[in-house]
C-alpha cells in the first residue's frame, strides 16, 4: 500500500510540551552537539568526528580517533539539522551543514566508498570484517542523512554522495561470483536503502535490501567465512575471543529471519533490522516478511518490553535476555533502542494500521526517549534504569553501565544525536497518511497540510496533552475535502469521548482507531476527551522483578518516586491498595507539569546502622505515615544525584 510521508515543511509543531523540546533541540542541542563534534567542550569526552573527515579528505594530517563507527555521529547530526530546517529555516545553520556536506563529499573515495576509519587507518581492510566493524551501518546513517537533507532543502549534493555510495555497495554485495554474499553485523543499511528507494525509485536499492535480509543467518555462515579469510583475528576484545563472530544471535544472524521466534541479541540492532524489514514487506508485498514482523513484534512487545518503552534488559551486549526477564536496576534500555523501537512501530503502523503499534510508539516517546535528555538539552542518558540506589553503583560491578545523572557526552555518542533527529522529525510519527484515511497517531499540538487528491486537507490539533485530557482536532481547509480521519483510541483510555461540532458522532472502530468519513469543511471541529485517571499498573506474574509491586501511570506517562521528594531508602516505601491519588500542579523545574501524590507508609527503624544485620521473628521496622510524591519518570535526575524507583511495594 502506498503511504505518503508527511512533508515536514507543511507541518508545524505548536504543542506547548513537545514544541518546547523541539525548540530546545534547535536552539541548544544542535549547537551543543556541533561543538562536541568539533571537540570544543573541554569537560566532555572528545569526538574528533569532524576532524576524521578532514583527514580523510586530505585537508588535515593526523590519526583516526574514536569508534570505528564515529562517522555516524556526523550523519545523525546532519539529519537532525535537516529536519530542524523544515521547522524553522536558518541560513547560518544551513550554510554550516552545506560545508559539512562538502567535507563529506571530499572524503568520499573515487569508487564511491565512504568511511573515515578505513580510509585513514585501514585502507587494505575494507569489507574484511562486516561482523564487527559497522561499515554498512555507518553508510546507512549517511544515506539517511542524505535523504533527509534532500527532502528538507531540495539540495542534491549529499544525496548524490549517498547514491554513489549505494551504487558502489550494490556492486560489492550480491549473489554474483565476484560479489560478497554477506551483510553487516549492525543492521542499518536495510532501513536506509528503503528510504533511498522511496526517494529515487531506484529498484536496485530495494532489491539489495531484500538480498541482505534473505542472506542473513544462512549457512555456511558468512561471519565464519570472513573470520577464516582474515586469519582468525577480531576487532572487539571486551567479551572474549571473537565474541561478535561466535555469538551470532547478538546480531540476529544465528538463523534466517523466517526461523527466528523471539527478539534476541543487541536491542538496537534488532529494531533497526526490523524497521527495514517492515518497510520492505510493505513496499514489496512480501507476506512472509510481514509474518516475520508480526511474530517478532509480538514476542518483543508482550514479553520483553519495559513499562517505559525501553528494550534490552542486560548490559552484556546491550541486549535482550529471555522472556519476562525485566530487571529494574540492572536494565540497559539504551536510548537508541527506544528510538529504534519508535522507528519499527512507525513502519508496522504503515503496514498494519493497528493502534497497538502507536501505543508502544507513544510509550517509548513520552518516557525513555524524553528521559534520555536532560531538561537543559546538554546532558544525556545512554542507559535508562527504572530503579537506582547511587550508593551501590561504585562498589557493585553489575551496575558499571549505570549512571546516576546524565552525562555531557560519550565516547560512543550514538544516543545524543539520535534523540535530536527523532525529536526534530516527530511529525513523521504524528500522522500516517494512507490513501483511504489520515491516521492520527499522536495527539501532539500541530497544524499540517496533507494532499488528498488535488485538494489540501489542513488539520490543526491543539490541547495540553499529555497533562490534560481535552484535545481538539480542527479542519482549516479552505475547500471541502471528502476523506476519512482515523483517530487513535489510546490503550490507557477506557472511555474516550468524541464530539463533532458539539454533537455526539458515530464512527467505525477498527484496530483501535475511530474512523470518521465525511465531507470535511473549514471550521469542522472534533472535540476529544481522553480521560486520564491515575492507573495502577501490575506486571505479568512471570515478571519476577515486579512481584508484589505496582507502578503509576497517567495518560502515556509513567511516574516514579525520587529521593528529592521522598527521602532515602525508597525500598521501604509502601503504597496501600486503598490510597487515593491527587493531582498536583508542578512548580519550578516541574512548572506546567502534573505531579501525583498519595498517602502511603515508610518503614522506619531507629539507627538501623547500629542494629544487627538480621533479626529473628520480629521485624526491626515500624510503618509510619508518609506522603508519596510521584514525578514523571522522564524528568528524574534533573535535581542532582539520588534514589529513584518506578515499581513500588503495594500493601
Contact 155, 149 (CB under 8 A): yes
Question: Which candidate, 281, 285, 217, places its Cα nearest to that of 251?
Answer: 217
Question: What gap in Å lies between CA 516 and CA 500, rounded to an integer?
Answer: 10
Number of C-beta neighbours around residue 31 at 10 A: 14
* Preceding peptide of 443 cis, ω within 30°: no
Cα pseudo-dihedral 82, 84, 89, 93, rounded to 10? -70
**Per the structure block, which three cell numbers stand in for 627?**
506522603
Question: What gap in Å lies between CA 214 and CA 182, rounded to an integer?
Answer: 10
Selecting among 133, 336, 414, 415, the annotated active-site residue is 414
Residue 413, CA distances (Å) to 86, 418, 498, 558 in order: 25, 9, 44, 26
Region class of 318: left (phi > 0), else alpha (psi between -120 and 50), else beta: left
Q: Verify whether residue 387 is a known catalytic residue.
A: no
Write the secondary structure of 413-472 as one string of H (helix), E (strand) and C (coil): CCHHHHHHHHHHCCHHHHEEEECCEEEECCCCCEEEEEEECCEEEEEEEEECCCCCCEEE
Sheet of 513-520, strand order = 431-434, 437-440, 481-488, 513-520, 508-510
Burial 204-218 (b: 16+ CB within 10 A, else e): ebbebbbbbbbbbbe
Q: What is the DSSP letter of 256?
A: -
3-state helix vs strand vs coil in the chain, percent to 5? 40, 20, 40
**Per the structure block, which three cell numbers stand in for 132?**
564487527
Question: Which candidate, 409, 407, 389, places its Cα nearest to that of 399?
Answer: 389
Question: Which candidate, 221, 268, 271, 245, places its Cα nearest to that of 132?
Answer: 245
User: Between 287-303 and 355-364, two packed helices, what is the crossing angle to 10 degrees?
Assistant: 50
DSSP secondary structure letters along 269-290? HHHHHHHHHHHHHHHHT-HHHH
Number of C-beta neighbours around residue 105 at 10 A: 16
Q: Which helix (H) or strand (E) holds 483?
A: strand 481-488
Question: What gap in Å lies between CA 602 and CA 625, rounded to an integer?
Answer: 6
Q: Which helix (H) or strand (E) holds 300?
A: helix 287-303
3-state secondary structure of 576: coil
Q: Verify whether residue 318 is a known catalytic residue.
A: yes
Number of C-beta neighbours around residue 391 at 10 A: 12
3-state secondary structure of 473: strand
Number of C-beta neighbours around residue 407 at 10 A: 17
**Per the structure block, which three cell numbers stand in for 370?**
524524553
Contacts of 37 (CB under 8 A, 6+ apart): 47, 49, 50, 73, 74, 77
Q: Radius of gyration (Cα) for the chain, nearest Å? A: 25
Contact 253, 228 (CB under 8 A): no
Selecting among 94, 318, 334, 469, the annotated active-site residue is 318
Q: Which helix (H) or strand (E) holds 583?
A: strand 581-585
The residues carrying an active-site annotation are: 318, 414
Amino acid at each position: 500500500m502506498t503511504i505518503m510521508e508527511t512533508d515536514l515543511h507543511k507541518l508545524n509543531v505548536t504543542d506547548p510540551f513537545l514544541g518546547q523540546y523541539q525548540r530546545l533541540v534547535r536552539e541548544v542541542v544542535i549547537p551543543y552537539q556541533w561543538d562536541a563534534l568539533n571537540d570544543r567542550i573541554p569537560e566532555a569526552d572528545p569526538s574528533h568526528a569532524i576532524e576524521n573527515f578532514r583527514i580523510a579528505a586530505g585537508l588535515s594530517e593526523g590519526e583516526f580517533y574514536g569508534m570505528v563507527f564515529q562517522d555516524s555521529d556526523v550523519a545523525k547530526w546532519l539529519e537532525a539539522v535537516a529536519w530542524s530546517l523544515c521547522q524553522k529555516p536558518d541560513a547560518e545553520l544551513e550554510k554550516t551543514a552545506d560545508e559539512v556536506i562538502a567535507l563529506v563529499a571530499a572524503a568520499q573515495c573515487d569508487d564511491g566508498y565512504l568511511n573515515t576509519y578505513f580510509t585513514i587507518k585501514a585502507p587494505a581492510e575494507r569489507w574484511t570484517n562486516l561482523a564487527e566493524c559497522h561499515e554498512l551501518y555507518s553508510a546507512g546513517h549517511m544515506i539517511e542523512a542524505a535523504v533527509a537533507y534532500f527532502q528538507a532543502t531540495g539540495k542534491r549534493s549529499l544525496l548524490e554522495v549517498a547514491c554513489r555510495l549505494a551504487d558502489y555497495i550494490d556492486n560489492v554485495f550480491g549473489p554474483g561470483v565476484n560479489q560478497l554474499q554477506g551483510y553487516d553485523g549492525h543492521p542499518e543499511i536495510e532501513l536506509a536503502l528503503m528510504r533511498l528507494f522511496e526517494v529515487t525509485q531506484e529498484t536496485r536499492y530495494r532489491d539489495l535490501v531484500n538480498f541482505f535480509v534473505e542472506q542473513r543467518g544462512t549457512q555456511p555462515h558468512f561471519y565464519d567465512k570472513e573470520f577464516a579469510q582474515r586469519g582468525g583475528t577480531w576487532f572487539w576484545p571486551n567479551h572474549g575471543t571473537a565474541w561478535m563472530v561466535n555469538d551470532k544471535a547478538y546480531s540476529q544472524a544465528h538463523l534466517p529471519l523466517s526461523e527466528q521466534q523471539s527478539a534476541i541479541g543487541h536491542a538496537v540492532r534488532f529494531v533497526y533490522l526490523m524497521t527495514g524489514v517492515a518497510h520492505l514487506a510493505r513496499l514489496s508485498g512480501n507476506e512472509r516478511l510481514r509474518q516475520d514482523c508480526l511474530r517478532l513484534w509480538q514476542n518483543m512487545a508482550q514479553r520483553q518490553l519495559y513499562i517505559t518503552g525501553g528494550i534490552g534488559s542486560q548490559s552484556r551486549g546491550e541486549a535482550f535476555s529471555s522472556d519476562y526477564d525485566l530487571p529494574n536496576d540492572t536494565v540497559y534500555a539504551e536510548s537508541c533502542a527506544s528510538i529504534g523501537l519508535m522507528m519499527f512501530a512507525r513502519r508496522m503502523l504503515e503496514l498494519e494500521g493497528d493502534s497497538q503499534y502507536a501505543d508502544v510508539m507513544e510509550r517509548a516517546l513520552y518516557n525513555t526517549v524524553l528521559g534520555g535528555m536532560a531538561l537543559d538539552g546538554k546532558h544525556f542518558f545512554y542507559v535508562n534504569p527504572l530503579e537506582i540506589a547511587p550508593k551501590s553503583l561504585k562498589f557493585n560491578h553489575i551496575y558499571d553501565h549505570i549512571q546516576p545523572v546524565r552525562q555531557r557526552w560519550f565516547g560512543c555518542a550514538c544516543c545524543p544525536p539520535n534523540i535530536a533527529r527523532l525529536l526534530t522529525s516527530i511529525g513523521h510519527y504524528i500522522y500516517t497518511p494512507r490513501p483511504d484515511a489520515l491516521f492520527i497517531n499522536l495527539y501532539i499540538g500541530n497544524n499540517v497540510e496533507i494532499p488528498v487528491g488535488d485538494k489540501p486537507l489542513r488539520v490543526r490539533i491543539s490541547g495540553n496533552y499529555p497533562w490534560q485530557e481535552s484535545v481538539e482536532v480542527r479542519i482549516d481547509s479552505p475547500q471541502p475535502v471528502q476523506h476519512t480521519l482515523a483517530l487513535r483510541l489510546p490503550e490507557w483510555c477506557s472511555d474516550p469521548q468524541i464530539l463533532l461540532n458539539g454533537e455526539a458522532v458515530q464512527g467505525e472502530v477498527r484496530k483501535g482507531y475511530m474512523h470518521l468519513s465525511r465531507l470535511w469543511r473549514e471550521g469542522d471541529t472534533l472535540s476529544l476527551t481522553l480521560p486520564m485517571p491515575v492507573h495502577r499498573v501490575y506486571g505479568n506474574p512471570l515478571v519476577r522483578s515486579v512481584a508484589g509491586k505496582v507502578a503509576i501511570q497517567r495518560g502515556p506517562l509513567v511516574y516514579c518516586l525520587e529521593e528529592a521528594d521522598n527521602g532515602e531508602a525508597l525500598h521501604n516505601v509502601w503504597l496501600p491498595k486503598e490510597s487515593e491519588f491527587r493531582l498536583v500542579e508542578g512548580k519550578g523545574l516541574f512548572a506546567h507539569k502534573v505531579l501525583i501524590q498519595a498517602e502511603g507508609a515508610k518503614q522506619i527503624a531507629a539507627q538501623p546502622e547500629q542494629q544487627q544485620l538480621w533479626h529473628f521473628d520480629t521485624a526491626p521496622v515500624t510503618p509510619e505515615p508518609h506522603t508519596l510524591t510521584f514525578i514523571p519518570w522522564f524528568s528524574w535526575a534533573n535535581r542532582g544525584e539520588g534514589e529513584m524507583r518506578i515499581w513500588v511495594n503495594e500493601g
